Chains A and B, each alone.
Chain A
Amino acid sequence: MKPDSYTFVPVKSKSLSFLFVCLWAGFSALLIISCKGEGDPIITTPSNKLTLKIGYESDGLELKKGELIYVNDAGNKYSVSTLNYYLSAFALQDVGGNWHTSNDIFYVNAFDDQTNDILLQNIPKGEYQAIKFSIGLNEAINISNSLPATPENINMAWPDMMGGGYHFLKLEGNFLDSNMKTIGFAMHLGKSGFHSEVMISQPYIIGTGSSTLSIQMNVAEWFRNPHLYDFNVQGNYSMGIDSSMKKLSENGKDVFTFK
């Protein structure tokens, strides 16, 4: 089904009684506003908000910055020092199959708590069955300098000479190579077409007011399914190497789950 927007579809009613009710409500609202004192709170229409709280792990171990304790499926022992990425193209599917979309783009730094609460606004309350979003930016929005020039966005810029737009993902750290020597790795995703599309099919309810859903990124998933990623074989660097970025972007589809 074609996604539509969070914006409510206006109720179509031509009955006079409905018109009367509307007029009465409008008049009452005007009356309330006109009587409002200086310090009175502003009355607004309640809107539903969903906060996605993002947590991190590597196969059950809580992700801690710089700890060389995690092991991927290829047997690489690794740490994570940087994990920055964008989330975009959010769409929530209700039980009726309708998609409710958001155009908001979120920058996330795994080690900065403030960026790990994703706020989606104006969502109809109800029962939902799936959520999907992109890690990174799809072709239509991956345009150089299109995001506000914040320090974070500037540091995520992907040079025009390499395709332009933004880094979708910066996953950096160290690993022990085959000689047990500590070497850095930098898994960078960018360039249109190399974003990851995530879909989580699981029921959830959005109530009136604020709701919260916890989602979890399992970093180990970046290195498996469908592609085993071994730093010693595929390399410790991905930027500008389409074959490596393709593997990572395809692996990224299931790095998130509901917690």
Chain B
Amino acid sequence: MVKMYSLLNSKKLLGLAAVVMIVWAASCKREAEAPEPKQLPTPYELPVPPGFPPPYLSSVNPLTEEGIALGKKLYSDPILSSNGLSCSSCHHREKSFSTPIFTSSSGEKQSVPPHVNLAFNPDYNWNGNTPELDLLCMADFEPEFFNTNKDSLYSRLSKHPEYPAMFNKAFNITDVRLLDYELLKNRICFAISQYMRTLISANSRFDRYQKNREKLTETEFDGMVIFFTEKGDCFHCHAGRLFTDNLFHNNGIGSSFEGLNKGRFLVTGNPADMGLFSSPTLRNIEYTAPYMHDGRFETLEEVVEFYNSGVKHSSTLDPIMTKAGKEFGLQLSTYEKQALVAFLKTLSDEEFVGLK
């Protein structure tokens, strides 16, 4: 019996040893396949053009080279959608990362704000309903835009030849399948917002003119004078090197407000905000038609004509728009209107939109 037990024990020991060997071998294999030890991504310092304000950066989503690279790739990759769309489907570089028009599910038309100099904006969208750039694209996964299929997204990202390593390098995510869906979308948006912060436009003809590197034509110069004086009074809302004051105004495009035309009121509920919209930057305005929040104007000439003769009064009309003698518009001559449009086109950054 003793011998039998010892034989049994020997067999058991052998079996145990085999199991240990297998487990050890397996563990060695896992170790070999595990991602590299955690390595911090490379911090990226955003270049701020002279005269620009400090950028609004995120403490929870600091800029890194790896995060920006991931965001740039995702921005133009339909992998995020089930309908073949990507961010760049609606934000065309040649249109300063904008698109001609967007029609909402309720049928209301909206012009799409360009993705330009967003790092310097305190809030986003026409009515400022998104205060964080990091969260700006969260809604894009919805049926109205990407109609993202959750399972497909996990599958395609995890099997992709590049994305697993890119997520790992950018956010130390070893396997995107381990993230819950909200967190996955969040990290995708983090990466895309990092990339969007790098979309900086500051090399227009006007910029070069200010550096004495280029001259304006006589007409453009006359337009500049109109822009920066009380004649046109454009500079109050389209202020500084950003050509926006990043504030909300009722510029007189309506006197009654329904639906999306309520503007900032839809965010704050404050009657004083009825019909107010964020001042858009005028950089690259030549490329971002149609104009106004609802895209009602197809050309810059129409926009200038509106300010010249079409301003409508309402209780929230900006005080700047009601100067004595100019209550209903600027009253510019035909030449002055042409000059103003000519100047606006000097704000085009051809390099930014890929024309140079």
A contacts, CB < 8 Å to B: 65-66, 81-82, 145, 149-151, 154-155, 157, 159-162, 172-174, 182-186, 235-237, 239-240
Contacts and interface: CB of A to CB of B under 8 A. Distances in A.
A214 to B, nearest CB: 28
A191 to B, nearest CB: 12
Contacts of B327: 183
Q: Is the interface of A mostly helix, strand, loop or mixed?
A: mixed
Contacts of A160: 228
Contacts of B230: 162, 237, 239-240
B323 interface: yes
A173 B316 CA distance: 10
Given A154-B242, A235-B324, A236-B324, A162 B53 contact: no
Contact of B322 (A150, A154, A184): A184
Given A157-B240, A161-B229, A162-B230, A66 B323 contact: no
A157 B241 CA distance: 11
Size bin of chain B's contact surface = 20 to 34
B239 interface: yes
Given A66-B272, A149-B51, A149-B52, A173 B319 contact: yes
Given A145-B51, A150-B53, A237-B324, A186 B228 contact: no
Contacts of B7: none
B229 A172 contact: no
Interface in B233-289: 235, 239-242, 245-247, 272
- With most chain A CB atoms within 10 A of its CB, the pick from B122, B228, B319, B320 is B319
Contacts of A66: 272
Nearest to A173: B319
20 contacts: A81-B319, A149-B52, A150-B53, A154-B241, A155-B239, A155-B240, A157-B235, A157-B240, A159-B229, A161-B228, A161-B229, A184-B317, A184-B318, A184-B319, A184-B321, A185-B322, A236-B322, A237-B323, A239-B230, A240-B229
Given A149-B51, A154-B242, A184-B318, 7 more contacts: A65-B272, A149-B53, A149-B241, A155-B245, A161-B228, A184-B317, A237-B323
A159 B247 CA distance: 19
Q: Which 6 A-B pairs have the closest CB atoms?
A: A184-B319, A154-B240, A184-B322, A159-B228, A172-B319, A237-B323
A159 B235 contact: yes
Contacts of A155: 239-240, 245, 247
